[in-house]
C-alpha cells in the first residue's frame, strides 16, 4: 500500500520567516495530494491541495509543489505568523477501485515572536 513520509516532525521559525515541510510517497500512481492544518483541540482542516497534473499551486502565503519523478511534494508558508502555529499533515491518494487516502505523521510548526 501507499507509504507517506513527512519531515521534519517539528519545526520552529521566527515570525516573518518561511517554513517548508516535505513529504514523500511510494505509489507512483497517486494523483491527489492535500495538506491539512490541525489546531489544538480541533479537527484537521484542508488548507491546500494539488493534483498530479500540476507542478505548483499557490494560495496567498501558502504554496505546494509536486515533483512526480522524485515522488515528493512540499508545503511552503511564507511570512509566517503566530496563527500559523499548528500541526500540518500531508496526504496522498491512490487511484483505482481500492483508492485510499494515506496521511503523513504530521509536522508541529511553532512560529515564535
Partner 1 sequence: DAGVIQSPRHEVTEMGQEVTLRCKPISGHNSLFWYRQTMMRGLELLIYFNNNVPIDDSGMPEDRFSAKMPNASFSTLKIQPSEPRDSAVYFCASSLDRLEKLFFGSGTQLSVL
Residues in the interface with partner 1 (CB under 8 A) total: 20
Closer residue to partner 1 (CB): 25 or 89: 89
Cell numbers for 5, please give them. 513520509
Q: Does 2 bind partner 1 (CB under 8 A)?
A: no
- Contact between residue 81 and residue 15 where contact means Cβ atoms under 8 Å apart: yes
Query: Rule CB under 8 A: which of 77-96 touch partner 1?
Result: 89, 93
Nearest-angstrom CA–CA distance, 89 and 52: 18
Report the 3 state secondary structure along 75-107.
Answer: EEECCCCHHHCEEEEEEEECCCCCCCEEECCCE
Which of 68, 67, 62, 38 lies closest to 49 in space, CA to CA?
Answer: 62
- Of 72, 103, 108, 110, the residue at the interface with partner 1 (CB under 8 A) is 103
To the nearest whole angstrom, how small is the minimum distance from the Cβ of residue 93 to partner 1? 5
Closer residue to partner 1 (CB): 53 or 69: 53
Binding site for partner 1 (CB under 8 A): 32, 34, 36, 41-46, 49, 89, 93, 98-101, 103-106
Amino acid at each position: 500500500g501507499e507509504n507517506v513520509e513527512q519531515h521534519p516532525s517539528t519545526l520552529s521559525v521566527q515570525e516573518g520567516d518561511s517554513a517548508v515541510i516535505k513529504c514523500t510517497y511510494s505509489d507512483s500512481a497517486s494523483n491527489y495530494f492535500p495538506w491539512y492544518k490541525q489546531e489544538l483541540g480541533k479537527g484537521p482542516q484542508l488548507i491546500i491541495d494539488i493534483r498530479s497534473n500540476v507542478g505548483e499551486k499557490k494560495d496567498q502565503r501558502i504554496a505546494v509543489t509536486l515533483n512526480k519523478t522524485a515522488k515528493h511534494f512540499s508545503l511552503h508558508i511564507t511570512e509566517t505568523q503566530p496563527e500559523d502555529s499548528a500541526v500540518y499533515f500531508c496526504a496522498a491518494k491512490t487511484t483505482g477501485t481500492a483508492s485510499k487516502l494515506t496521511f503523513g505523521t504530521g509536522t508541529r510548526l511553532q512560529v515564535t515572536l
